[in-house]
Chains A and B, each alone.
Chain A
Amino acid sequence: MLKRSTLLREMGITLLSITLAFGIGAFIIWAAGFSVSAVFINLWKGAFGGKLAIGQTLTKATPIIFTSLSFLIAFRCGLFNIGAEGQMYIGAMVAAVVGAHLHLPIVLHVVACLAAGGLAGAFWGWIPGYLKAQRGVNEFVSTMMLSYVAIGFSDYLVAPRGPLHDDKYWANQTVRIAATAALPRILKPTQVSMALAVAIFFALLVWYYLFRTPAGYELRSVGLSPPAAEYGGIRIKRKLILALSLAGLLAGLAGSGEVLGTHFRFIGRFSPGYGWDGIAGGLIARAHPIGAIFAALLMGALRAGGMQVQRSGAAPGDIAAVLQGLVIFFIIAPTLVRTLIRWRRR
């Protein structure tokens, strides 16, 4: 495990990267002719200014915790899962079907929906995992391609005349799930649901799995050095398949959580890009499961804040997406920040 001093230094670098990114972001806002202060004030207000804002931030952060875990568990095995968006859609669709059409008692129904959604996502992750292990297919391209396929397929299912379309409404969505399948809201009147608790629980679980079980040890060795892992008697191909399946599972849970806790039905194109935020979250967390909770909070805050910026008219809300991209850029080059620190000291 990390020593405390290293941990503090890593956190320091992360915070500094975020500050730098916001600095450059401020310059872009200014250069585009908007008021820097108005943008940042609204960003803060939308993310943390009051119960509703905090609720919004937590609601957005919930699926991002899952997708961040999805990205980082594959990353720890040396794989890039950039198809979390599609895996999430698959999981959400299946969870919505099980939630609406299966009749089970309370709690059990929720568990069944989560399990079904997670397994469906796992299947969508298993395909690129299998292709990687058996056919050497670059998982970066295949997860991306399968993501497009999944989203396209979900579009078809809920489109008017599609098999899952709720004919009572015009919108592209399924029927509402049963009350027994819904995750309870925990911060009324906001949309924050028990899905948040489930997400945090899974973050702890992933941490335990990676750092405290032999299976996690094997997964990490494959990620750091396949030849050494092979030498240690670890079956690499199995680990590759497993890692992408687990990544799919976690992304599938992200979608299930959205259906069971936020929308109570599957809505076509419900995600504003949570799968992508997960990549950012996983990178910002430096692939650490506990860090993923905080990274997801940052992503969620940016999304919630961005909406407030848009509403206030201070600037387009998508400035939040630009800030997110900038944060990533500084985070992924730790030597950059170190160089800057050294340069300052001179």
Chain B
Amino acid sequence: MDVLKDIFTIHLVLSALRLASPIALVALGETFSERVGIINVGVEGTAVLGALISALVAYFTGSPWIALIAAPIAGGLAGGLHALWCIRFRANHVVSGIGINILVAGLALFITSSVWGWRGTSTYSDTINTWYITGAALVIIIVSQIFLFRTKWGLRLRVVGEKPEAADTAGINVHRTRYIYTILNGVLCGLAGAFFFNSVGRFTSGMVGGRGFIGIAAMVIGNYTPVGALGAALLFGFIDALQMRLQSFIPSQFSIMLPYLLTVLVLAFFIRRANVPAALGKHYVKQ
């Protein structure tokens, strides 16, 4: 029993909330982009990019706050690239996302070796308190929930993902809407990346470690709503926090596996409701 007492403390709850925030940010971003019909599996790579740019900017400017601004901008650029590829060049959405992941993985190794001389790691820099990012994430999610279901922009973006031709005939610019929210997805993933950098103080190439993909899982479980995404992210954050505690009790290789294994189990056993946007992953061709 004492063991359990050691594990389940108030710190566990707090660290669950903290660790949930980057997953929630990714899940929220993906909710936006999938609601307009764009699948982006490049969220993992985008978060890595956010962390990498945070480290770079913090290293060169010495200011963690400038780094905090730079990360979402870099993420937004990655989102824009993805949108360009999916919309303008009609690439398969998943394939383009994979492309982002692989390109960023390569860039991360190349840039770290070039700048710091170590493959895949940066030096330590000043950071901000990650609770700022966690707090911001909570506020953004609540606002997003209202935005999506209670404002005209929310209605319009949902129609773009459900039936783009209906949006088009109502005078709504389908492509522009898709660009905006795919870029927004990138911005949120970049912010998630900044979280990872600030929680450690430096960049390492494995630091996101599949949490972007877990963010996609959280979006699925959250049924394409911001608040749902937060709920699912809290579950995964809790698993993550638990995993860190368990490291002192079971072999670390097993506790590290835990979040990944549980993600698959949760996906397999939760009852799915169907809010999948009807035009998800489809190219909209206008004559």
Contacts and interface: CB of A to CB of B under 8 A. Distances in A.
A and B touch in their complex, CB below 8 angstroms:
yes
Interface of A: 28, 32-34, 80, 82, 128, 131, 135-138, 140-142, 144-146, 148-149, 152-153, 155-156, 159, 273, 276, 279-280, 283, 315-326, 328-329, 332-336, 339
Interface in B60-110: 85, 89-92, 94-96, 98-99, 102-107, 109-110
Contact of A146 (B95, B109, B264): B264
Given A144-B210, A333-B91, 13 more contacts: A33-B114, A137-B267, A145-B213, A145-B264, A152-B260, A153-B253, A156-B253, A279-B102, A318-B110, A322-B103, A325-B103, A325-B104, A336-B85
Contacts of B261: 145, 149
Interface residues of B, number: 42
B254 A152 contact: yes
Contact of A142 (B107, B251, B253, B264): B264
A210 B83 CA distance: 32
A279 B264 contact: no
Contact of B106 (A135, A279, A283, A322): A322
Given A148-B210, A329-B85, A332-B92, A321 B105 contact: yes
A136 B273 CA distance: 11
22 contacts: A128-B264, A131-B264, A135-B268, A137-B267, A140-B41, A141-B264, A141-B267, A145-B264, A148-B210, A149-B257, A149-B261, A152-B253, A152-B254, A156-B254, A276-B102, A283-B98, A316-B109, A320-B106, A325-B104, A329-B99, A332-B91, A333-B89
Contact of A335 (B90, B99, B209, B267): B90
Contact of A159 (B98, B103, B253, B260): B253
B89 A328 contact: no
3 nearest CB pairs, A to B: A325-B103, A321-B106, A316-B113
Contacts of A145: 210, 213-214, 217, 260-261, 263-264
A144 B213 contact: yes
B216 interface: yes
A315 B223 CA distance: 46
Contacts of B102: 276, 279-280, 321, 324-325, 328
Given A283-B98, A332-B91, A148 B103 contact: no
B96 A332 contact: yes
A80 B95 CA distance: 9
A142 B94 CA distance: 15
B140 interface: no
B119 interface: yes
A322 B94 contact: no
Contacts of A128: 264
